Chain A
Amino acid sequence: MLILRVVSKAIFPIFLLYTIYLLARGHQQIGGGFIAGVMLGLTMAALYIGISREFAKKCFGVKGYHVLGIGLLVAIITGIGAFFYGLPFLTSGFREFNIFFFGHVELATAAVFDFGIFITVFGVLLVIIDTLSQSIEGED
């Protein structure tokens, strides 16, 4: 178990970075909200299994059902946003920007929706893993 302990701690920042990487490039290259959400879920699962439920909970410090609620809210609000431009629900818009250091970047509202998916998927996995590991560790 020691190996698992050490490894799950060690991979945590790497996986976290990879998650952000997957999320950020999702619209242009391989990646996206769903994959990034599962990735972060796996990172968290490693902490749950490798170390302990308490540690993992301390690490994330949020409750799964809050997270998934916020995620759904982000997704839905993105959809409603289109109404303010007189467009149908969930119509996306995008624009190209020139941002210092990043250079030429296209930003789309769909990316915000994608972020909502990411949050929701992570929240779902957090709820599931937390619930399952709780029934395992028994009465706490």
Chain B
Amino acid sequence: MSYPLLAILVPVLGACTVAPVYRYFGRWVGWWSTAVAALASLIVILQLANLDTIHGAVSQMSWAWLPELNINVSLYVDGLGLIFCLLIACVGTVVLGYSNYYLSSDENLGRFHVLMLLFMASMLGIVLSDNLILLFLFWEATTFTSFMLVGYWDTENESRYSASKALYITVFGGLAMLGGFVLLYVVTGTFEFSNLLEHASDIKEHSYYWIITVLILLGAFTKSAQFPFQNWLPTAMVAPTPVSAYLHSAAMVKAGIFLMLRMFPVLGGTSLWVYLVTTVGIITMCYGAYHGVRQFDIKKLLAYSTVSQLGLIVALIGMSTPLALFAAVFHVFNHSLFKGALFLLAGVIDHLTGTRVMNKLGGLARAAPVLALLTGCAALAMAGLPPFNGFLSKELFLHAATDLESGTGVFNYFVIVLAVGGSVLTVVYSMRIFHGIFFGSRPESLGSLHKIPFGMIAFVAVPTVFVLIVGIYSQPFVHGLIEPASLMLFPNQYESIHHVAEEVSLWHGVTLPLILSVSIVTTGFLIYGTLRYRLRLIREAPATISDIIYDRIYYPIMIHGLSKVYLVVQSGYLRHYVMGVSIVLIGVVGYTVIAKELWQVLTFDQSYDMEPYELGLVLLLCLATLVTACARDRLSAVISFGVVGGLVTGVWIIYSAPDLALTQLLIEAMSLVLFVLVFVHGLPFSKVSFALSKKMRDIILSACVGGVVTLLMWIVTFSALFPSISPYFLMESIAQAGGHNVVNVIIVDFRGFDTLGEITVVAVAAIALFSVHKLSKKEDEIC
């Protein structure tokens, strides 16, 4: 068993054990899931130590899943994947540990931890997948778990609205991305990322290139909350704070970033990529920062700042130089640390004061000095001040923005101006968090403070300490993690990337980025200083254009429009479904017969000597069917229908199909039992009386179905359009599956997947019956 697969399996298995642990140990389940996450982190770290990523080593493994469709469980472990793994697993461990103090034991802890661990597994799956379809499955798994976690407090309308908003927007992007993957397959004939690398130049020259890129970027932009799809992220803040810290700052929103980085060697670097990605990123950065400054809820402010920081990273990915990509990876790493810490701190402040509204907060530094210190570290790192890690990557960002090679002059100026503007606003909102909450006068309305458990602070301190460590001792992190990851993006440019990595330090003389940094911070402080005394000027931002589009157009179409379609398609009457199926059958078969001129194969001269008992059976069958059709009440219809079934069993026996005969007999008996249960005790059945027109319609439809099926049988019997598959099964049954009962071998082996699907459907139907019954009875105890 290999490490990467183990890293994905450990949280999955952990999630499976949550239910029993929760049942028998109650709130200790939180520590159990923390331990599982820690184990996953350990596996990732071991893998990191084992694989020589510094020299670009890659480890690949593959298990066949659906080889006929080129879909395999194949993993691709490289420097880029591992740095994300490390963030996902370690931040996850910290957040899960923290959640033990955050969530009260009255909450449904079992559900929370199952979803968090499943989320962790699917995130690890995304960053380790080689096969794009596998990646897509994990991608949608994160969408689903995110939906469930945003709607964790499922009785609140706002939670449900936000959860569905996140779902509708990201699923739209996910489907676009799937379309992009399929087009990539059309162009290259492979779903494996490792093979795509060899086709990179073919893809870029192909006429589908731009559509593939746009589709895949749509997936990345929706997931990473880029303009104009950013609006689901701030509303998702209704989720519990650990969820926001983990999913909506450190991990899930990074999935889009990861996808862009992963696809960069295949799709990146063209002028379409540079202009589109950089523009979207830099606009998102400014837009998010502007709205961040205008928020009053700490978590909403942090959400907009996440949007802004993600925009910064996306802009860097768009710039497509080794320096910019290096900075992007570095900032992903730094952002996860300080933003994860800030979200957790927001939870602590909430816990301490009972509010998250910033107007009601102030002057907390004296009461909670440690908290102030931690928040200061994280917020100043976000603002890009030395000696914190944010400063290093911010410098690199400014360096990359001023050093744009591609693009025209106007575009470069546009990027620089927006980069500086966004950074100034970043300083302003960072100061609002740090200075606004911990300094100044303490509002009267703020009552007595609650006590914070030591463990809560301890878990918050872990990422915050790393913010400082990475800032001061950057070289080990840069060489061990960031450099290998960037190397995967520019495999041939080891020298230039190594050069960039060497240069990362807090001080390298008076350079253009440093001058920009100093002026940004000064301007930011000045703006904050003036704003502080005019807080009334800050108003809650009006609805953004994305919100208007979502609320007025997208949401009504999704909810009201589709529910109308749904009501037409799902009428709830069995006869309507049967009618639909019949019409499709008539249409498809009829069309094929006419289009392929199949009636020409029909012959009448085939003579077949019917034995008298066969003739008798057929006549009886016809009679019984006629009786069923003409039955006046349901009971006689059911009984005569049972007779039809019994006679069909006879047909199977005559034509030597004992398996079918046995099955048919048992099923007939079973249906009769079920009908008896339903009838004898009188479940409410509406009386059936149809108008003549409806009867005519049914008769015509039935006649058509009968005719078409007869025609089909006729054609199949008297012509050999295709070679029969039966000899193959008869021959291979013993050789390949070791079974003499060919029917059974087909069911459990050759067509095993179909059977699995069928029994799943049957199981779901039974559960549906059970649930509908339980709901309609509204009893507390059913079983």
Which chain A residues have a beta carbon within 8 Å of chain B's beta carbons?
26-35, 38-39, 41-42, 45, 48-49, 63-65, 68-69, 71-72, 75-76, 79, 83, 86-90, 92, 94-96, 106, 108, 110-111, 113-114, 116-117, 120-121, 123-125, 127-137, 139
Contacts of A139 in B (CB 8 A): 779
Bound Cα distance from A30 to B419, whole angstroms? 74
Contacts of A27 in B (CB 8 A): 737-741, 744-745, 748
Q: In angstroms, how far is the closest chain A Cβ from the Cβ of B171?
A: 25
- What residue in chain B is nearest A118 (Cβ atoms)? B759
CB-CB contacts below 8 Å: B739-754 with A: 739-741, 743-745, 747-749, 752-753
CB-CB contacts below 8 Å: B709-766 with A: 737-741, 743-745, 747-749, 752-753, 755-756, 759-760, 762-763, 765-766
Taking a contact as CB atoms under 8 Å apart, the answer to whether A32 and B748 are in contact is yes
Residue-by-residue, is B755-783 near A (CB-CB < 8 Å gives 1, otherwise 0)?
A: 11001101101110110010001010011
Given known pairs A129-B673, A132-B674, A132-B678, the reply for A86 and B666 (CB within 8 Å) is no
Which stretch in B403-411, B633-641, B656-664 binds the other chain?
Answer: B656-664
Q: In angstroms, how far is the closest chain B Cβ from the Cβ of A6?
A: 18
Taking a contact as CB atoms under 8 Å apart, the answer to whether A30 and B64 are in contact is no
Known: A75-B759, A110-B752, A128-B769. 15 other contacts (CB 8 A): A27-B748, A28-B740, A31-B744, A35-B663, A41-B670, A42-B666, A42-B670, A68-B767, A72-B759, A88-B67, A111-B748, A114-B748, A123-B766, A132-B677, A134-B782
Bound Cα distance from A34 to B741, whole angstroms? 14
Contact residue among B670, B745, B767 (Cβ-Cβ distance under 8 Å from A38): B670
Q: In angstroms, how far is the closest chain A Cβ from the Cβ of B467?
A: 41
- What residue in chain A is nearest B738 (Cβ atoms)? A94
Taking a contact as CB atoms under 8 Å apart, the answer to whether B741 and A31 are in contact is yes
Given known pairs A108-B739, A136-B680, the reply for A127 and B770 (CB within 8 Å) is yes
CB-CB contacts below 8 Å: B644-697 with A: 658-659, 662-663, 666-667, 669-670, 673-674, 676-678, 680-681, 683
- What residue in chain B is nearest A76 (Cβ atoms)? B756
Contacts of A94 in B (CB 8 A): 737-739
Taking a contact as CB atoms under 8 Å apart, the answer to whether B670 and A45 are in contact is yes
- What residue in chain B is nearest A126 (Cβ atoms)? B766
What interface size band does chain B fall in?
35 or more
Contacts of A45 in B (CB 8 A): 670, 673
Contacts of A87 in B (CB 8 A): 64
Residue-by-residue, is B500-533 near A (CB-CB < 8 Å gives 1, otherwise 0)?
A: 0000000000000000000000000000000000
Taking a contact as CB atoms under 8 Å apart, the answer to whether A124 and B766 are in contact is yes
Taking a contact as CB atoms under 8 Å apart, the answer to whether B673 and A49 are in contact is yes
Bound Cα distance from A81 to B663, whole angstroms? 29
Taking a contact as CB atoms under 8 Å apart, the answer to whether A106 and B738 are in contact is yes
Q: In angstroms, how far is the closest chain A Cβ from the Cβ of B168?
A: 30
Contact residue among A33, A68, A86 (Cβ-Cβ distance under 8 Å from B763): A68
Contacts of B82 in A (CB 8 A): none
Taking a contact as CB atoms under 8 Å apart, the answer to whether B677 and A92 are in contact is no
Which chain B residues have a beta carbon within 8 Å of chain A's beta carbons?
63-67, 73, 658-659, 662-663, 666-667, 669-670, 673-674, 676-678, 680-681, 683, 737-741, 743-745, 747-749, 752-753, 755-756, 759-760, 762-763, 765-767, 769-770, 773, 777, 779, 782-783
Q: In angstroms, how far is the closest chain A Cβ from the Cβ of B750?
A: 9
Contact residue among A35, A90, A106 (Cβ-Cβ distance under 8 Å from B753): A90
9 closest A-B pairs by beta carbon, nearest first, are A94-B738, A136-B681, A27-B739, A124-B766, A88-B64, A127-B766, A32-B744, A38-B666, A90-B752
Interface core residue of B737, B741, B759, B762 (most chain A CB under 10 Å): B759
Contacts of A129 in B (CB 8 A): 673-674, 677
Contacts of A108 in B (CB 8 A): 737-739, 749
Taking a contact as CB atoms under 8 Å apart, the answer to whether B666 and A35 are in contact is yes
Given known pairs A30-B659, A65-B770, A127-B769, the reply for A72 and B763 (CB within 8 Å) is yes
- What residue in chain A is nearest B68 (Cβ atoms)? A88
Contacts of A135 in B (CB 8 A): 681, 683, 773, 777
